Every structure is written in C-alpha cells, then in structure tokens.
Amino acid sequence: MDFQLTDEQEMLRTMVCDFAKNDVEPTAAERDAEERFDREMFDNMANLGLTGIPWPEAYGGIGADVLSYCIAVEELSRVCASTGMTLSTHVALASWPIYQYGTDEQKRTFLHRLATGEALGAYAVSESVSSRDTAAITTVANKDGDDYILNGNQVWTMNGGAADLYIVFATTDPDAGDGSISAFIVEKGTKGFTFGKTEKKLGVRSSPTTELVFDHCRVPKDNLLGAEGQGLTIAMATQDSGRTSMAAQAVGIAQGALDAAVDYAKKREQFGKPIAANQAISFKLADMATDVEASRLLTYQASWLASEGQPYREASAMSKFVAGDAAIRITTDAVQVFGGYGYTKDYPVERYMRDATITQTFFSPSDEC
C-alpha cells in the first residue's frame, strides 16, 4: 500500500497552507468574535481554484481528486474551522449532488458556477421537527405546470443567507413512503424564498447558519435534481460526502490545536525549564499527535476510496466518528497544556475547542433515516 501523496497533492497542500497562514489566520479570531462571514475570503479561495478541486475542467473545476479536496479542507481548518466549513459545505454538500445526479445542462450551468466560485453553495435538509430525518421532511413541493411550488421552512443551513445556490429537499408525494422526497436547486432571489433566523452558535461562528423560508416559492421543473422521488437517495449519498469532509475538518482543527500546544510547551518555562520537558506534558502531546495521525489516515483512506470510485460509506462514517471524537480530546488537552491561558481568548485553543464540537454533532449516526 502506497501512503505517499503525489507531487500535485503536496503542491496543493503547500499552496493552501500558505494561503491559510497569510490570508485566513490573521482575521480568524476577529471574524469568530464578530460572527462575521467574509465573502472576499471565499472569492480568494475561488481564485486559487479551491472551489472546484474535484470537478472536471469542463465544468469549471481543476480536475483533481477528493483526497486533494480533503487536504485543502484540512489545511484551512487548521487555522480557521469556519473557513473550512464554508468550503466543505460548498463542495461536498452543494456541488457534489449536482455532479453525481444533475443533468448535463445542470452541470454546465449550476455546477460550473459553483466550481468557479461565481456562486456559493448551500445544502438544506433539516427541519425543526424532523431534524435530519429526511424521510420525515414536511416542506412540500407541489407541481404546477412547468414549475414546482415550495412551501415550508428549513433550518441549520450552513452558508445560509450568504449562498447563491441551495440544494433543497421537499415532499412531492406524501403517499409514496421513501419515494416521497425530491431534491431541487433553488437560487437566491427567487420570489417566495427568504431567510429567517440566523443561529448563534458555540463554534464555527464566522460560517453563517440560517433558516430558509419558502412561501409559494416557484421553482422551474428544470431545477429538479435527479428524478422525482429520488431525494432520499441523494440526501443519504450526499451525507457520505459530508462525513468525509467533516472528518477532514476535524483533522485540521486537531492539528491546529496540537501545533499551538507544542509551540507553547516549548516556550513556556516553569522551574527553570520548558514545560515540554515535563513527562506529564510530553506524554500528553505524544498521545495527541498519535490521535491526529490515526484520524488523518482514516480520513485519507475514505477520501482515496471516493477518488477511486469505490464504495466509501463505511469508511466515511468511521473516519468522521474517530476524527470527531479525537478532535474533542485533542482540543481539550490543548487547553490543559496552556493552563489558565488556554481558557482565554489570548490564545486560539479555546476557539479550536469550541469549533471541534461540530465535528461530533453534524452527520452523526443519529442523522441516518
């Protein structure tokens, strides 16, 4: 088994790392405190080709693979989990279903706009009652001539409000059981489509999470994604893509916390020597590093399988489960290494700890239908 990344993947990692350090990290704490989404940051990622990493050049992408994309999410999340969330939602949840299930025309139009970064994407499947139980969704889409009319509310929409294109799930046939759900591409600005509550979150605070409101929203039938009644299949497959992305975010957050803890342990002195010389600290750092590497290997395995077109549902679930739990442990331990300073906003580890919680919460086993 070859664990060596290709030259192209290493070059991409270096490019994203430089961008993250120079452009993303300097304002990460400020954007988190202000709960401020920075569209210019997304535009800069688009200029680097990050918004279309795994998609073919014919659709505006750069023709790389899923592993390359996960490396980019990891490096962004290493300094700012919110920025990593913006990209992962855009690629894995909004662009992926169009690439997998869209018509040629939908790929040439909607996917191309997403891949080039002309448009920011979002994914809406949660409701206040049904949570992430897609089969129990109550938003309805009634056919009316050449259109569908959507009515209902969607909550917990990442990139909500800021995004230009939304993947939305709604019931098209209440009596059809699992075949009652369909997926739609809905554009911001469509009449009858507005935004409700913006969530005040514990972590990833500069990534907007917003309620979507559909009140007799008329969507062209050409915006139906896949076949009518295929929505549940599309949602479950998309969540596999989302879990791999969430694992990559968890790895990046954990690596960022480890980097900060190691750096601090080498500089902070007690009793005339760096605290890194204390076995209790050095053993903790070793455990943290091991957890990061184990999580990374599982995540890279899942993304490699996806890149090769092989089944990866089980691998994506495992990587998300292991990496999410590890991120919680590692960021908590990082705060402990910093002691009282770790509990303040003078250092980034408290932000890493808050951000890590979402990697356990979203796309958990309880989200399955």
pLDDT tens-digit series, residues 297-356 = 999 999 999 999 999 999 999 999 999 999 999 999 999 999 999 999 999 999 999 999
| Token pair recorded at residue 95 | 């662009």
Q: What is the C-alpha separation between 239 and 216, in angstroms, rounded?
A: 28
C-alpha 283/C-alpha 262 separation (Å) is: 12
Answer whether 59's CB lies under 8 Å from 102's CB.
no
Mean pLDDT of the chain: 95
> What percentage of residues in the chain have a pLDDT greater than 90?
90
C-alpha 207/C-alpha 46 separation (Å) is 17
Contact 159, 121 (CB under 8 A): yes
Q: Is the pLDDT of residue 134 over 70?
A: no
Q: What is the pLDDT of residue 133?
A: 65
> Which residue(s) pair with 198 in the sheet?
210
pLDDT value of residue 362: 78
Q: pTM value?
A: 0.95
* pLDDT score recorded for residue 365: 46
pLDDT(160) > 50: yes
366 falls in which pLDDT band (50, 70, 90)? very low
Tell me what the mean pLDDT of segment 186-199 comes to. Answer: 98
Burial annotation 211-239 (CB, 10 A radius, 16+ → b, else e) = bbbbeebbbeeebbbbebbbbbbbbeebb
